[in-house]
Each structure stands twice: as structure tokens, then as C-alpha cells.
Amino acid sequence: METLIDFFTGTLGLGPTLALSLAYATAIGSLLGFITVYAMFAIWMERKVAAHIQQRFGPMEVGGWHGWAQSPADALKLMFKEDIIPSGANKVLFWIAPAIVFCGVLAGFIAIPFAAGVQIVDIDLGVFFIIAIASIEVIGVIMAGWSSNSKYSLFGAVREAAQVVSYELPSATALLAPILVVGSFKLGDFNTYQAEHGWIIFSNPFMWIALLVYFIASLAGCKRAPFDLPEAESELVSGFHTEYSGMRFSFFGLEEFVSMLLVSAITCTLFLGGYTLPFNFLDVANLAAPFHLLGVAVLIVKIFAVIFVQMWLRWTLPRMRVDQVMTMGYKYLLPWALFAVAGTAVWHVWMEG
Amino acid sequence: MSDTRMMDVEVAEDRHSEAMMINMGPQHPSTHGVLRLVLELDGEEVVSCDPDVGFLHRAKEKVGETFSLHKFIPYTDRLDYLAPLSNNVAYALSAEKLMGISCPPRAQAIRVICHELSRISAHLLGLGAYAMDLGAMTIFLWTFRERETIYSLIERICGARFTTSYTRIGGVERDLPEDFWPLLQAFVKEMPGRVDEYEGMLSRNKIWIQRTQGVGVITKEQALQYGLTGPNLRASGVEYDVRKAHPYLGYENYEFDVPIGTEGDCYDRYLCRIMEMRESVKILDQVLNTIPDGPVINREGDAELKSVLPDKQAVLTNMEALIHQFMVGTTDFNMPEGEVYFSAENPKGELGFYIRSEGGFKPTRLRIRGPSFANLQVLTELVPGHMVSDVMAILGSIDFVMGECDR
């Protein structure tokens, strides 16, 4: 951010307020661009991963090479589709629900460090800011489900509310373990710590439990299989977005992929070394000016590894039942998360005297 | 936009909480066609379930009364449309029972192949759709890989993949081509490994077990009372398989086991189908080794009735045969008086045909006992008390086909 502001004030000679606004606009604009491209790629990747697991090819025609243009083509199609609002729907809520869902997740990205200096704001309580802001999504989902005036939609929305709220407990608790190790909530600090001390996942054995708990809980948070009850297509047709069509519908789809990116980014930053390389054999963060951007590539590779596991699970496992999801959250994940936190605390007090 | 229309919640008076009526189907993704369930829900729990069938009613039985026995064969394809060959076989056997014609040994063996291939195919689809209803979509596409092989085999058998109409009264339409045998051999060799793959994905999968074990338990008594047949009955622990109880087509000569469940829950029904596929492969293997040579249609058996179609080559060269063909195809043959009931062990259960004839060309009554219809009756008692998600498990495990239920 500072570099951008300097660029606008120094090189272009703009006033500080204008420079600040322009810097933020540029940053958020590039973030949006990145997310759009990512989402298209992730959708294509999801279809390819699913296809190969299912012994198919997936998209092969559009664009030539392995159907790479399938997602842009689909996006174009969705944009031109008629925006249908059911006659019994509450129009205002129906209209803004997809925006709220999408904004909530998008806002989480302002605290994610993509590389040294490539971070919009390094918030003091970064980790909890992301958890808190990402849960705004639930409000949007409930609005969508309620305003659709469909029983299936309402069912999906209620399931989503119950599920996401329950799984925030284990996921937030599990994140306390790396926070204990680093001693900070700032996401930037995790990267500097891991560049010095190695990846947090290797800092103590309890961290593996924390990672596993967080990963499972984050799957539930993203409504990914086996926790895709809110949109269980074989039960609730498509859950809360049954009545949506066109671009509004695509926002819900987009939101799922973007929140996958968000939770994977958190997983990578907090457990898997962020943008640092294994054993820090190349100190990416301190490379000369343009090369420190290599960190972005490192982080993206790690993120896609995590996303691949999420996709792999989705196309392998059956869906859980709503009571089993709750049992798992409260009776298994939460105690294990607490155990991991306690274990980490004891380990570090014991090891470091 | 009016708030009063937001939710049309119907309140059941004898309950504390508000019950929600929900229409599941006939256009719901997991009601396998056009079954409509009127569910009364209390939160996630189902209070009552009222299956509404008949959306696919095509008056098959009535159609059967306006045709001669031969002309009804194509209509049987559309009963259980996942196992058309099996329906053909069951119908041909019923008609033969009425006409008093026997079927030559080679045709019998071919019919066994038809029966078992369609059993595997139907069970594969049942398993795939069942898994997909519970969210495991990959299994569905994996089973379609093997179904594709089976459809290619069926294409070799009779030229059509789906609407087969392969059997004729007194035998089958034509002999199997030479290149069918190596294909079947390869399939028999490959299939057990494929079944292992499905089992590897599901049988010990914790989520699958949680979703199916103890869900939708049909007791032995219930199963008998509701007249369940097929894997659904056997999963409840009743050892009844038409192939063993009243052997037909020489099933007594083949060695195979009838898998029996113990609990009668969704998991047992799944396991029963898996094991039946393995048994079917065993039967196919035995047929491959023992199939006799000879004619595939019994033309000598009905010299008097002239109900069996003549040899096509003879039709083209012989006047008598041409007239015979013309008579069978247009004015039809006179049937003996009487009534018969014959049932065969189809993939979904016992498919029975009751044919009553008072002479003449057409049967006076043709009643079809579709196993899916009987199997679905149990829903009213089975579903209440379960959760909405369990309804999918139960529907998937009962494995019905609306074409046969509504007829």
C-alpha cells in the first residue's frame, strides 16, 4: 500500500487524500480482477477435477485447449440471462441478498498478505476480522432463502444459518493454536515468524490437529461437500438459491469459490508458511524490489493445493445429515480444537521454559 | 409483494408446533421420475408421508387387452425401463405358459443372459442414483461406465440399446452373433473388480454408513405384509427369490446364492444389491460355459396354433411361410381359453403377468404386477419419524421405477 501511495504522491504529484483514495481504488480493483480470474479458473478446475475423478473429460470444446474458455463463456451466458424474480418474492431482499453474500467474503481479502507488502491493510486483529466479516455471508443467505418465498429455499437458509454459526466455533478455536505460537493476530506477523522459525504446522504435534479441525470446519463454512446441506441438490433442489437465475445465481456460485480461496489463504498463511518457501531456502520476502512479488506465486500454489483437496473430497464423499453435522461440530471438532489449543500452550511453556 | 404470501404454512391442529407441508416431486431431482410425496414436516422431521403415484400412467394393462399377445411385447420394454430385456423375458414366459409352448434350451440360456445382464444394469443404476441422492455423485458416473458396456452388449444382442423387444413367443428373435461371446467374456471378467471399486467407495465409508445404517428399517413382518419383493424383501431377511422358489429358464441348473440381509435397513438393501450383482456375474459365467447349441425359437411346438413367427428366410422363399407370417402379424392367432399367472424375478422384484383368455385374438384381461408399486406402498409407514435427508436414503434404497409402478 505504501508503495502505491508513494507512487501517487511522489511520481504523479497528487495530494495525499486523492492519492490515498486512488491507491485503495487500485488495490481493490486489482483484487477484484484477481478474484474474477481466479473464480473462472477455479470453476474450470473444479469441473476438470470432478471429470477426471469420474473418468470423464469435462469441458473440452470451448476455446480449444481443454475447454479453457468454458467459464468465461458461461459467465457471459449468465450475464445475458433474464433476471427472474418470483412474483411472491420480497423484491428488495431478493435483490440485495447476492450482493451481501458476495461482499462479506470479498471484504475478508483486504487483510490477506499475498506477498511482502502486497496486502491492503494489515489489521491488528486480522485473523478475527476475516472470520467475523466472512460470516456476514450467512445474513445474505438467510435473506435469499426467506425472500424467495419457497419452502425449499427457506429450508436451505435455515440449515446454512445453523451450520455456519456452529462451525465458526471450532474453526475460530482451532486458529487460536497458531495465534498462540506467533503471539499476534496480525496476518503479516505470521509470515515473518514462519520465515524465521519454519512453518507453524511443524512447530508442535498439536498443530496437525488444529489444522485438520480448521480444514474440516472451513469446509462446512464454505458449504462444501460433505457439508453441502444448505444446497443439497438431491434434497432441497438447490437450497437457498433455488429461485435465483442469471447473474444473481452466479454470485452464489462465485461466493462459494471465493470463500474457498479465502479459507485456503488462511490455512496457508496460518499453518503452511504463507508466502514463504519450505525451510525458507529462498527468502522470498526480502528479495530485491520486483522479485518479492514471487511470494504471490508461492502462496497461490499452496492455495491451489488446499483447494484441490477440497474438490477431491467433494467428489468422493457422500453428504452428511443435518444432525450428524451438528454432532460432528459440537461433539468432536470443538473438543479437539480446544485440546489442540491447550496442547500447544502446554508444549510451548514446557519447551521454552 | 405481500408479506402474507411469504410462506403458506399450514397448521396441523393437533400439534404444538407448526407443520409445513412440502410437495416433493413430481419434478424433484431425487424422486426418480415422477413420484410425488406430500410430506408434512416438523422442522427437519417428517410427520407424515403420502405418496401420490400415477403421473406416468399409460394404461398399459388396457392396451394389452386391445392387442394380441405378440404385439404387446414392445410395450413391456417401457415397464421397468431400466431392465427392458428382463420384462421381455417375463412377458414371453407368461404368454408361453398360456399358449402351452416350450422354449428351446439355447433360447432359455440366452434369456438367462438377458435376465442377468439387465439385473446388473438395473442394480448399477439403482446404486448410482442411490449414492447420488446421498451426495456421492462420482459413483453414479462410475456405474454408468459399466452400464455403457452392458448397453453395448445389449446392442449386440438385439440391435437396440434401450427398447429391446427381443423375445418372441416360443423363443427369441434371433441367435446371438459370434462376436458377442468374447465381449461377454470380457465383461464377466472385469465386472467383479468394478463392484469392488464401488464397495471401496461406500461399504466402509463412515459417512455412508452413518447415512444408511439403522435408517428406514423394514421388519420381516412389514416386508411380508406390504408384499415387498426382490432385494427389498431379501434385505429384511426373508429368503424368497423366484429363481430359487419356482425355478424357470433352468435356473435350477445354475449355482448361485441368494443374498439375505439381517437388519432390513438402507445399508442392507445396498449390500443386497451389490451381492446380487456378483451373483449375476457368476450366473453369466456359467451360462457362457454351458450354453447348448440348437434353435432359438420353437417353431415345431405350435404347428396347430401357428402362433410362432416363421423363419424369416422361409418367409422370403415359401408361400406357406409368408401367409403364416402375415397371419401372425395382422389377424393374429386364436388363443386357448384359460388364465395364467407367471412371475419372474426382475431386478426390482417379482414382475408378474396375469393373462386371461376366452379364446379369440386378444386377452380379456392382462394384469401386470409391478414390483415397484408394491415396494412403494411401504413408504407411508416407513418415512414418518425420519429426517428429510433420510427420505432420500429410503427412496434410493427402495430403488423403484415409476414406469413399472404407474404402468
Residue B167 pLDDT > 80 = yes
Residue B294 pLDDT > 70 = yes
C-alpha–C-alpha distance, residues A242 and A262, integer Å: 25
CA distance A43 to chain B (A): 17
Q: What's CA B322's distance to the chain center, in Å?
A: 36
Interface size between A and B, measured as CB pairs under 8 A? 91
Three state DSSP letters for B234-302 = HHCCCCCCHHHHCCCCCHHHCCCCCCCCCCCCHHHHHHHHHHHHHHHHHHHHHHHHHCCCCCCECCCCC
Q: Please report how many Cα atoms fall inside a 13 Å half-sphere around the Cα of residue B321, on the Cβ side.
A: 11
Write phi, then psi, for A59 (nearest 5 degrees). -65, 130
Other CB atoms within a 10 A radius of the CB of residue B334 amount to: 15
Indicate which of A317, A323, A324 best probes the interface with B, i.e. most B CBs within 10 Å of its own CB: A317
Q: Please report how many Cα atoms fall inside a 13 Å half-sphere around the Cα of residue A316, on the Cβ side.
A: 12
Cβ contact B134–A155 (<8 Å): no
Cβ contact B3–A320 (<8 Å): no
Q: Give the angle B87-B93-B96 at the CA atoms, nearest 5°.
A: 140
Residues B50-107 have pLDDT tens digits of 888 888 888 888 888 888 788 888 888 888 888 888 999 999 898 888 888 888 888 8
What value does the mean pLDDT of chain B take? Answer: 84
pLDDT score at A213: 92
Residue B302 pLDDT > 70 = no
- Report yes or no: A245 and A85 within 8 Å, Cβ to Cβ: no
Question: What percent of chain B stands above pLDDT 90?
Answer: 10
Indicate which of B388, B391, B392 best probes the interface with A, i.e. most A CBs within 10 Å of its own CB: B388
Query: For B111-115, B123-127, B180-184, B333-337, which range has the lowest pLDDT when averaged over its residues?
Result: B333-337
Using alpha carbons, list the distances in angstroms from residue A233 to A260, B129, B137: 19, 13, 11
Residues B313-337 have pLDDT tens digits of 778 888 878 887 887 777 666 778 8
Residue B292 pLDDT > 80 = yes
C-alpha–C-alpha distance, residues A122 and A126, integer Å: 7
Cell numbers representing residue A262 in the block: 479465502
Question: Across the 353 residues of chain A, what is the mean pLDDT of every consecutive 10-residue run?
Answer: 70 75 83 88 89 86 83 87 82 86 85 78 84 86 86 85 87 89 85 82 86 90 81 75 82 86 89 78 70 81 90 88 86 91 88 72
pLDDT score at A353: 62
Locate the domains of chain B by residue range.
2-52, 60-305+336-406
Using alpha carbons, list the distances in angstroms from residue B80 to B142, B346, B370: 22, 9, 8
Which one has a higher pLDDT value, A315 or B310?
A315
C-alpha–C-alpha distance, residues B218 and B381, integer Å: 9
pLDDT score at A22: 82
Top mean-pLDDT range of A153-157, B275-279, B300-304, B325-329: B275-279
Residues B216-236 have pLDDT tens digits of 888 888 888 888 888 999 998
Contacts 24+ apart (CB under 8 A), B260-263: B260/B234, B260/B235, B261/B234, B261/B235, B261/B236, B261/B237, B262/B237, B263/B213, B263/B214, B263/B217, B263/B235
Average pLDDT value for residue range B187-196: 90
C-alpha–C-alpha distance, residues A315 and B139, integer Å: 9
Q: Which residues of A touch B30 (CB under 8 A)?
A: 234-235
pLDDT score at A76: 87
Residue B371 pLDDT > 80 = yes
Cβ contact A229–B134 (<8 Å): no
- Report yes or no: B164 and B85 within 8 Å, Cβ to Cβ: yes
Residues B5-48 have pLDDT tens digits of 444 445 445 555 677 888 887 877 777 778 888 888 887 888 88
Using alpha carbons, list the distances in angstroms from residue B139 to A300, A309, B104, B271: 31, 18, 39, 15
C-alpha–C-alpha distance, residues B50 and B34, integer Å: 14
Please tell me if residue A91 touches chain B, with a CB cutoff of 8 Å.
Answer: yes
pLDDT score at B124: 92
Q: Is the pTM of this model over 0.90?
A: no
Question: Which fold is adopted by the domain B60-305+336-406?
Answer: Cytochrome-c3 Hydrogenase; chain B (1.10.645)
Cβ contact B388–A323 (<8 Å): no
Q: Which residues of B touch A151 (CB under 8 A)?
A: 7, 20, 22
Cβ contact B202–A318 (<8 Å): yes
- Report yes or no: A303 and A261 within 8 Å, Cβ to Cβ: yes
C-alpha–C-alpha distance, residues A263 and A274, integer Å: 13
Residues B238-268 have pLDDT tens digits of 888 888 888 888 888 888 888 888 888 899 9
